[in-house]
Amino acid sequence: MNVRIPDHISTLKSYHPGKSIAQLKEEFGWKRMAILWNNENTLGYSPRSQASVMEAYEKINYYPDPFSTDLKRRLALKFGKTPEEIIMGNGSESILMLAIRGLCSGEDEFLTSRGSFLIIYNWAKINNVRCVSMPMTDGYAFDLDAIKSRINRNTKIIYLANVNNPTGTMISKSDLKAFIQSIPDHILVIVDEAYFEFSVALSDDYPNSLTFDFPNVLTLRTFSKAYGIAGVRLGYGIGHPKVIDAMTKSKLTFEPSTLAQAAGIGALQDEEFLERTIENNTKGLNYFYTEFEKLGVKYIPSYGNFVMTVWPSKEQVTEVFNKLMKRGVLVRPLAGNLEHCIRISVGRPDENEWLVENLG
């Protein structure tokens, strides 16, 4: 094969999601399972979302509305924004990619922390943008001072995951505001709030970056977590119309799909499901903390729908992971500077109990 693959692509580590749950189930013959590896909503999704998708299905012979008009209008109303300040995409992962694609060129750099959401490092690389990542604090949080100290004239985007996946740590209201105020306003600060709905319920000090008045902030949110529709792929970004316009020009014309738009419209109409999800999460986290303390498992308190456990060594992580896998408990062993850690998502009470039973 003589087609040359560019270096920035050939050197990428490809993302191997591994075997499917169906394959694993067959291999291990699980009778009981706990799917706690992807920070999904294992309570399911809203029936309003399902009904809305079924109705929209009637029109799938037509292309989707490229502007997601109805959905944007509803979100604009909910957040006191205008539709021009909103972009919809195939998950917030897509919005992040669009920010890099639509705003970076030449020597521009993407600055962030180590130990954050793995996909971001890849998207910078895929777009041939230099990604600079600073060490975390000892408490597994973003080190804002370290990030600030590394700003140079090429810094174009600073990415902050609040809360951070996989560590579960958060940046407080005053720290986030002071940080954004202190950096040059030609740098775009992406504040990824994928776990927003859980975080505001877990801490009064969790900042809602949509209430900030900084034109250089882009807030990312998703329907994949609290709204429980990860499978249809729907996320959004809210920021200055000029930034949103550049990103919109870079997006796939008909992203997100008709069914994703419909699922989101339905999901927004079901406060009861959202509240039930948030309550399940808060209770699940507290249950984990109590049981982990009894078992002597070290963990980092979390502001998302998952918790990072910390083990003495990578070898022990492999041992625990293999033991859990045999019993149908799927968790996420981490990589890089976090290879002594396992991330565990909050599931339904029966799943949480199955995890604890097998962890002991």
Q: Which residues bind ligand PLP (CB under 6 A)?
A: 39, 91-93, 117, 161, 165, 192, 194, 222, 224, 230, 235
Chain centroid offset of residue 344 CA: 14
Minimal distance, residue 39 CB to ligand PLP, in Å: 5
Query: Closest approach of Cβ 232 to ligand PLP, in Å?
Result: 10
| Among 329, 332, 320, 331, residue whose Cα is nearest residue 295 | 320
Q: CB nearer to ligand PLP: give 230 or 334.
A: 230
Q: Which residue is nearest to ligand PLP (CB)?
A: 91
Output 123 or 354, the one with its CB closest to ligand PLP: 123
Q: Residue 39 or 258: which CB sits closer to ligand PLP?
A: 39
Question: Could you tell me the smallest distance in angstroms from the CB atom of residue 123 to ligand PLP?
Answer: 11
Instruction: Closer to ligand PLP by CB, 196 or 311: give it.
Output: 196
Minimum gap (Å) between residue 24 Cβ and ligand PLP: 20
**Cβ at position 10, least distance to ligand PLP in Å:** 25
52/162 with CB nearer ligand PLP: 162
Q: Residue 17: is it exposed, middle or buried by C-beta count within 10 angstroms (0-12/13-18/19+)?
A: exposed
Rounded to the nearest whole angstrom, what is the least distance from the CB of residue 206 to ligand PLP in the complex? 14
Going by DSSP bridges, is the β-strand pair 109-113/298-300 parallel, antiparallel, or unpaired? unpaired
Closer residue to ligand PLP, CB minimum distance, 224 or 309? 224
**Rounded Cα gap, residues 206 and 200, in angstroms:** 6
